Amino acid sequence: MKWRRVWAVARKESLHVVRDPRSLLMAVATPVFMLTLFGYALTLDVDRVPFCVWDQSATARSRELTSRFDGSRYFSLQGRFDNYNALVDAIDRGRVMMGLVIPRDFAQRLDAGRDAPVQLIVDGSDSNTATIALGYAEVIAQTYAMDLMIEQTDRHRGQRLTIPLDVRPRVWFNEDLESRNYIIPGLIAVIMMVIAAMLTSLTVAREWEQGTMEQLIATPVKPAELILGKLTPYFAIGLCDVAIAVAMGEFVFHVPLRGNVALLFGASVIFLTGALAMGILISILTKSQLLSNQVATIATFLPAFLLSGFIFTIANMPQVIQWVTYLVPARYFVVVLKGVYLKGVGLEILGGQIALLIAYAVVMVLLAQWKFKKKLT
């Protein structure tokens, strides 16, 4: 391999990039747009769930229960109704997600030391949100029931009841439990995968469509030199995109970066190399810019978004799908990013993931070199 020929190919490809400012602008603006859109729009936090109440008891006991819900950060009282039909209509129209029905004899049953059933109606059309909201509601109801039990015991026995089990939870790595703190690092992996593959998916196909491939074949440039030369300018663009994404995570979304920045960029270099080589491989196989773009989008965005553990937990997927995720390089990069960002761990923990990223990059480069033939076929 002669670096002079590699430099010549890189210079030629750089001229293509410079002469197409719209594509260059798109390559830089797309990560900003996607991070802004997903960073603000995509959230898994469930709070301020709208709910309504039909309080038939209208007593201090029932008002206290309602205030327990409304005073929580997870619920927001949107209305009080005096009949069942109005409550159901509010849920049907989507104005509220949950309805609390307190029976007429609620306070009397509590004061008598008996069970007081309360109906909780939850809109289950969004099953995930409904499950989380139901969990919050059950905790509030159980806490209220425990307080009532302690109050009744103190009143009847004249002594303070103590709870034998005292659970004191402590959350590590994401203390505020904000979904943005783990969405942004995972989103960086998805964006880099898509952008890198799309940038290089047009390179070889463009040579075929513009009729310049014959000239390249006639030169003494070897396949490895051609691939490395075409990778170089897009590699620089990819690193700029990584820097922009990291800067936005730090200064726009305020995601904590607890780990080594050098390790973060080192892993990004490896991941970018594999993703860029994958784009060139797609370009070599398709020989069409339109088809290359479509294949690159399907082969990168969907697997990276759905099968990398970025949004959906891999352990909850069917076993067959879990096996498929091992073929998705974004899976390993997401682990590295979350480990560096949130946990602040180093190579002693992430070494295995980085080794798999290196293997992925090597395989993609070798496949691209193997499939590129200097023939007019």
Q: Looking at residues 97-110, what average pLDDT do you find?
A: 92
Q: How confident is the model at residue 197 (pLDDT cuts 50, 70, 90)?
A: confident
Query: What per-residue confidence (pLDDT) applies to 98?
Result: 94
3-class SS at 49? strand
Query: What per-residue confidence (pLDDT) applies to 162?
Result: 63
Query: What per-residue confidence (pLDDT) applies to 326?
Result: 93
Read off φ and ψ for residue 94, nearest 5 degrees. Answer: 80, 10
At 12-32, the pLDDT tens digits run 778 777 777 777 777 788 888
Indicate whether 159 pLDDT > 80: no
Query: Taking the model in full, what pTM does it have?
Result: 0.81
Read off φ and ψ for residue 51, nearest 5 degrees. Answer: -140, 160
Q: How many CB atoms lie within 10 A of CB 263?
A: 17
Q: How confident is the model at residue 155 (pLDDT cuts 50, 70, 90)?
A: low
At 351-375, the pLDDT tens digits run 999 999 999 999 998 998 888 775 5
Topology of the domain covering 49-157: abc type-2 transporter like fold (3.40.1710)
Structure tokens at 117: 């059933």
Residue 210 CB contacts under 8 Å (≥ 6 apart), including other chains: none
Integer Cα distance of 136 and 143 in angstroms: 11
Query: What per-residue confidence (pLDDT) applies to 157?
Result: 63
At 70-102, the pLDDT tens digits run 988 899 999 999 898 999 999 999 999 999 999
Q: CATH 3.40.1710.10 region(s) of the chain?
A: 49-157
Query: What per-residue confidence (pLDDT) applies to 364?
Result: 92
Mean pLDDT score across all residues of the chain: 85
At 302-333, the pLDDT tens digits run 888 889 988 888 988 899 999 999 999 999 99
**CA 93 to chain centroid:** 30
Q: Are strands 98-102 and 75-80 parallel, antiparallel or unpaired?
A: unpaired
- Residue 178 class from Cβ within 10 Å (0-12 exposed, 13-18 middle, 19+ buried)? middle
The H or E element spanning position 141 is helix 127-157
User: At CA 134, angle to CA 129 and CA 135, rounded to 5?
Assistant: 100
Query: What per-residue confidence (pLDDT) applies to 45?
Result: 73
Highest mean pLDDT among 151-155, 218-222, 281-285: 281-285
HSE, side-chain direction, 13 A CA sphere, residue 41: 6
Across 27-40, b (16+ Cβ under 10 Å) vs e yields beebbbebbeebbe
Query: What per-residue confidence (pLDDT) applies to 154?
Result: 66
Query: What per-residue confidence (pLDDT) applies to 173?
Result: 84
